[in-house]
Structure 1
Amino acid sequence: MDLSEALDIVRLTDVGLLRSHNEDAIASDASIGFVILADGMGGYNAGEVASEMAVLSITAELKEALGSDSSHYVLPDIDRPVLNKEILKKLMIDAVAYANASIYHASQTYSQCAGMGTTLALGLFINNQLLVGHIGDSRIYRLRNQRLVQITEDHSLLQEQIRAGVITPEQAKYSSHKNLVMRALGTDPEVELELNEFNVEVGDVYLLCSDGLSDLVDGELIQSALNHHMLDLTSAADVLVRLANEHGGNDNISVILAKVNRSYDDKNTWYDNFVGWLK
């Protein structure tokens, strides 16, 4: 089946109240269950270059590999049971590595792009699971049974201080180091994508967001907004952006919402097309 039958996906980005341009980039493709968000930084207006390069490059790589004609992708000689995870993880890692190399090369080649980079959050829904990759402090949350849980951990100085017990999560809300990331795409020749997998349940809602939302709107308010607008993801996205602007709007605000409407562990999915030629 087309995964758009199992997933509702809505995305929205807003420049906010104080910035002159938007350095966030977002994309999604419900047919293959793919979502991606990047929050650019550095250079003279080059953050938007880095985030757009990341989203365009990774989206193109994955759509090419996961489209209906995927037999051109060379698979290693491994047994089918690991294909649903290990091959797809490798696809994500390779796509991110290629984007990182491209952004880094541009930053080293063009003076106006020097120092640019971007955070990254991406997800791939497959066989009732979600593969999650992230770099930096853009986040992914899961709303399940009306409870919101952050399923990524920021690669930031603030998170390192919390982990080390230097500050508490409550103190972190008022820290002046919120935007100091410890890992970013495109700032170094190589970068490690943190990759995890989660079981998915019907009724789950997944939120990808830039720190323009998470820095200004606390988890309880996000949870309340999502629960109130559960049946209308477009309204939910609008409300989240409005809340961020009402709380200062001092950064670009981007959100992607994906709701799981039905099981997608069926036969005849794109996954079966992807490996069918092996039979």
Structure 2
Amino acid sequence: MRFISAGITDIGISKHTNQDSMLIKVAQTKNQNQIAIGIICDGMGGLEKGEVASATVIKKYEQWFQNELPKTLDHVNMEAIATEWVQLLKDLNYKIMQYGKGERINLGTTFSGILLIDNKYLIVHVGDSRIYKLDNSLEILTEDQTFVQREINRGNMTYKEAEGDPRKNILLQCVGASVEVNPEIEIGEFKENTVFVLCSDGFRHVLSESEIYMYLNPNVLIDKNVMEYNSRQLIEMVKSRNEKDNITVGIIKSVL
């Protein structure tokens, strides 16, 4: 499998710092195939030093991708990698929390990460950033770990009610601000001409799924230039609709 990728982050219209951090990388393997990793971390908007938390997590996973993953590529085991990723997050959760206590500050971050090897994907997820899969249609591969999503799942709230609920940004867990993190894990398969879209909540709050699909479906994204141009068009659309948060989107497309 081979991949093309792009990523754009924007501070938005009201924040003084960009607390989003992103990792999008494609690497060559010995057998001339490619592997890809994508991670979105959204530093907690209401907490101090969210950008420190998100950047710390991204740096650790970039080191893992460069130094640890190559050792396992001869015998890839996605379940074992999932276990490794979860442990990394648990270690980072403790490290960031201890740093916050020492500095007397609160900080945390979401984590939505995907690893693509051959025709398989691994997703590990904490918080309310999202990963979408676009082929013949759009599918959300992660579930928002928020108060309102939990209430929807329990039948106590409708999606319409959730949109206007003042508690919609309350997370059930995040890395660095939860006593314990229990990431969501998904392992699946994909085909050529599939697009994976990773985004912070600031990107998708005011966009419809049909708009995301229109601009980012695999038939439209013919190369990196189009990926970047269409991503920027959507980001400008988001800003014009008065979204107040940082805005980040990353794209990975599988190609022949």
Normalised TM-score (structure 1): 0.82
Gaps of 5+ in 1: 74-79, 263-279
Shift of 1:189: 4.1
**Matched position secondary structure for 1:41:** coil
**Counterpart for residue 179 of structure 1:** 169
Number of equivalenced pairs? 244
**Counterpart for residue 95 of structure 1:** 88
**Counterpart for residue 56 of structure 1:** 59
Q: Determine the C-alpha separation between the residues in 2 that align with 1:224 and 1:185.
A: 33
For 1:40, which of 40, 43, 52 is the aligned residue? 43
Shift of 1:91: 2.3
Paired AA for residue 207 in structure 2: V
**Counterpart for residue 4 of structure 2:** 8
Q: Determine the C-alpha separation between the residues in 1 that align with 2:44 and 2:81.
A: 28
Question: RMSD of aligned C-alpha atoms?
Answer: 1.9
For 1:118, which of 109, 125, 143 is the aligned residue? 109
**Aligned residues of 2:151 and 2:157 also touching (Cα < 8 A):** yes
Q: Determine the C-alpha separation between the residues in 1 that align with 2:56 and 2:26.
A: 21
Q: How does 1:196-215 map to 2 (within 5 A)?
A: 196-215=186-205
**Aligned residues of 1:42 and 1:116 also touching (Cα < 8 A):** no
Q: Determine the C-alpha separation between the residues in 2 that align with 1:44 and 1:87.
A: 33
| Alpha-carbon displacement from aligned partner over 1:55-113 (angstroms, at most 9, x marks no partner) | 1112212321113xx27x9xxxxxx6xx42222212212222222222111111112xx
Asked if 1:153 corresponds to 2:143, the answer is yes
Asked if 1:192 corresponds to 2:185, the answer is no
**Aligned residues of 2:19 and 2:45 also touching (Cα < 8 A):** no
Q: Determine the C-alpha separation between the residues in 1 that align with 2:47 and 2:180.
A: 23
**Aligned residues of 1:62 and 1:91 also touching (Cα < 8 A):** no
Q: Determine the C-alpha separation between the residues in 2 that align with 1:176 and 1:42.
A: 15
Gaps of 5+ in 2: 28-34
Relative to 1, partners in 2 of residues 1:105 and 1:43: Cα closer, same or farther, differing over 3 Å? farther
Shift of 1:21: 0.9
Shift of 1:44: 6.3
**Aligned residues of 1:212 and 1:251 also touching (Cα < 8 A):** yes
Shift of 1:18: 0.9
Identity percentage of aligned residues = 28
Asked if 1:27 corresponds to 2:19, the answer is no
**Aligned residues of 2:47 and 2:108 also touching (Cα < 8 A):** no
Q: Determine the C-alpha separation between the residues in 1 that align with 2:4 and 2:94.
A: 32
Relative to 1, partners in 2 of residues 1:163 and 1:115: Cα closer, same or farther, differing over 3 Å? same
Q: Determine the C-alpha separation between the residues in 2 that align with 1:229 and 1:47.
A: 34
**Matched position secondary structure for 2:62:** helix
**Worse overlay, 191-200 or 163-172:** 163-172
Q: How does 1:215-226 map to 2 (within 5 A)?
A: 215-226=205-216
**Matched position secondary structure for 2:77:** helix
Paired AA for residue 15 in structure 2: R
Paired AA for residue 52 in structure 1: A
**Aligned residues of 1:47 and 1:117 also touching (Cα < 8 A):** yes
Q: Determine the C-alpha separation between the residues in 1 that align with 2:179 and 2:201.
A: 25
**Aligned residues of 2:47 and 2:106 also touching (Cα < 8 A):** no
**Aligned residues of 1:84 and 1:126 also touching (Cα < 8 A):** no
**Matched position secondary structure for 2:21:** strand
